Amino acid sequence: MPHPISGTVATKLKPKPLPGVRAIGVFAFLVEKRSVLLVRAKGRKYWSLPGGKLKAREKIVAGLRREVREECGCEIYRIESSCLVLREDRKYLGLVFTARIKKTKPLPKKTEIDEARWFSLLKLPKLGPQARGVLRGRLRDGVVVL
């Protein structure tokens, strides 16, 4: 009989993941004076919106605040939903929010982010597929902005 929550059948074998979304991420679109705050992860050549995957049972806004704090050293407020980003190739759903920065602290020494920087909306750096879809509002590289 299928499990009421997961929909999987209890067996001694490892259950196969269900088709569809396998990860949910939260991302912040932080704009101040016609500039956007972007981050570049270690080993990456492109820039992204600050954010990442939610932890198990983590509330959406709490996860967004945690990710922005970890990656940018910022506390945020006035959080509003913006759009959804679907990466079908990776079975990934991203929830994008706009927010304002309350205060900034120095970045923690141990982080997966090499750099956080403000860029003019008119002169953006090389963007990752998710950020490209959100910032340019187009369908590109398997990313659908909903």
Q: Are 27 and 51 in contact (CB under 8 A)?
A: yes
State how far the Cα of 133 lies from the Cα of 68, in Å rounded to an integer.
20
Question: Residue 138: its pLDDT value, please?
Answer: 46
Question: Residue 22: its pLDDT value, please?
Answer: 74
Q: Is 27 a domain residue?
A: yes
Q: What is the mean pLDDT of each run of 10 residues along the chain (146 residues)?
A: 45 52 84 89 92 90 93 90 73 85 71 88 87 65 49
Question: Residue 5: its pLDDT value, please?
Answer: 45
Q: Is 74 a domain residue?
A: yes
Q: Is 5 a domain residue?
A: no
Closest CA to 85 of 3, 29, 16, 7: 29
The pair of structure tokens assigned to 6 is 């997961």
Burial class (CB in 10 A: 0-12, 13-18, 19+), 78: exposed
Question: Residue 47: its pLDDT value, please?
Answer: 95
Q: Is 9 a domain residue?
A: no
Residue 27 belongs to domain with CATH number: 3.90.79.10
State how far the Cα of 2 lies from the Cα of 114, in Å rounded to an integer.
44
Q: Which domain holds residue 33?
A: 23-145
Q: Is 50 a domain residue?
A: yes
b (16+ CB within 10 A) / e for 98-130 = ebebeeeeebeeeeebeebeeeeeeeeeebbbb
Q: Is 76 a domain residue?
A: yes
Q: Is 15 a domain residue?
A: no
pTM, full prediction: 0.75
Question: Residue 23: its pLDDT value, please?
Answer: 78
Number of domains in the chain: 1
